[in-house]
């Protein structure tokens, strides 16, 4: 069993550390054929491992799944990411959703150390054009230390399939030296042809830095499946330092990072890879 695992892992660097290399469709076919050879070797015509054991190997199944993802379109991979990645920012630091009455809900014991909190109003208009209005109300109680002026602004991105021809990102104006900043700016996104369950909003609070890259203060992800049936709601989103992904999410990220000519793929990988700098906000 252990040898089978080692052999399966040795076939490919699709998952795990090290520098990722692009696999061509031909190489995927070769690896797939290699998996069959490995299975036959360990089965040894009935003298080795039982066929059922070999077939049920989670490592082989995982590698097969990764290979199947390689041949998918960017839209299909992003859809897979959105529908499989649930606690992208925090486990136990849930987003609180209220009606349009703007009552602050109880924080709950799950929220331990949020970096701050973004407050959004989301209006779902799922008629013929399928629009989503997002009002960035405020970013409050931000924990951030900087030697210069703190100029927070909020970047809101729509993530999901079939958005290549649509506006995918909006940013608010920045505020000067405000650790609890009111923005009250509204933006409108148009969804692609898939169900709202395949889309999410990523909210990233950044510190505007003139002449160099803006720095991430914190981020949150609101999945539209959680708000689609409410039509209008206010979301109180604890901010976290980075996106967390499971093995499927990592594989999708790795495959999309190998499509440099694809603007949507490149933008998605950048969005999901941004992190809060460790030297700030201590």
Q: How far apart are CA 275 and CA 277, in angstroms?
A: 6
Contacts (Cβ under 8 Å, ≥6 apart) of 91: 244
Please give the Cα distance from 174 to 182 (Å, whole number).
10
pLDDT the model gives residue 227 = 87
User: Where are the chain's structural domains?
Assistant: 2-71, 84-273
The domain defined by 84-273 folds into Immunoglobulin-like (2.60.40)
CA dist., res. 162 & res. 29, Å (int):
28
Q: CA–CA separation, 31 vs 65, rounded Å? A: 12
pLDDT for res 137:
96
User: At the topology level of CATH, where does 2-71 sit?
Assistant: Methane Monooxygenase Hydroxylase; Chain G, domain 1 (1.20.58)
Backbone angles phi, psi at 235, to 5 degrees: -110, 130
**SS3 category, 52:** helix
Condensed to tens digits (0 to 9), the pLDDT of residues 141-195 reads 999 988 788 999 999 999 999 999 999 999 999 999 889 999 999 999 999 989 9
Residue 107 banded pLDDT, cuts 50, 70, 90: very low
Q: In CATH terms, are 2-71 and 84-273 the same topology?
A: no
- Residue 229 token pair: 């049936």
The model's pTM is 0.77
Are 116 and 140 in contact by the 8 Å Cβ rule? The answer is yes
**Pairing assessment for the beta strands 200-207 and 215-223 based on DSSP bridges:** antiparallel
pLDDT digits (tens, 9 = 90+) for 244-278: 998 889 989 988 998 888 999 999 999 999 999 98
């Amino acid at each position: 069993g252990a040898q089978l695992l080692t052999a399966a892992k040795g076939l490919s660097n699709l998952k795990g550390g090290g520098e990722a290399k692009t696999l061509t469709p031909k190489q995927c076919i070769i690896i797939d054929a290699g998996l069959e050879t490995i299975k036959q070797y360990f089965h040894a015509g009935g003298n080795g491992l039982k066929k059922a054991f070999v077939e049920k190997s989670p490592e082989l199944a995982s590698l097969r799944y990764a290979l199947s993802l390689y041949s998918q379109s960017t839209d299909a991979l992003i859809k897979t990411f959105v529908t499989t990645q649930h606690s992208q920012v925090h486990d136990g630091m849930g987003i609180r959703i209220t009606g349009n009455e703007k009552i602050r809900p109880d924080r709950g014991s799950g929220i331990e150390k949020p970096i701050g909190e973004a407050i959004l109003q989301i209006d779902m208009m799922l008629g013929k054009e399928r629009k989503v209005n997002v009002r960035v109300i405020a970013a409050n109680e931000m924990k951030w230390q900087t030697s210069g002026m703190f100029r927070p602004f909020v970047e809101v991105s729509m993530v999901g399939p079939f958005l290549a021809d649509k506006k995918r990102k909006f940013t608010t104006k920045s505020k000067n030296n405000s650790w609890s900043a009111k923005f009250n700016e509204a933006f409108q996104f148009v969804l692609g042809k898939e169900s709202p369950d395949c889309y999410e909003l990523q909210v990233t609070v950044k510190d505007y830095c003139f002449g160099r890259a803006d720095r991430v203060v914190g981020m949150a992800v609101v999945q539209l499946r959680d708000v689609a049936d409410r039509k209008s709601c206010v979301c109180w989103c604890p901010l976290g330092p980075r996106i967390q992904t499971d093995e499927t999410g990592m594989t999708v990220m790795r495959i999309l990072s190998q499509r440099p000519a694809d603007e949507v793929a490149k933008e998605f990988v950048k969005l999901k890879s941004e992190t809060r700098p460790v030297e700030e906000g201590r």
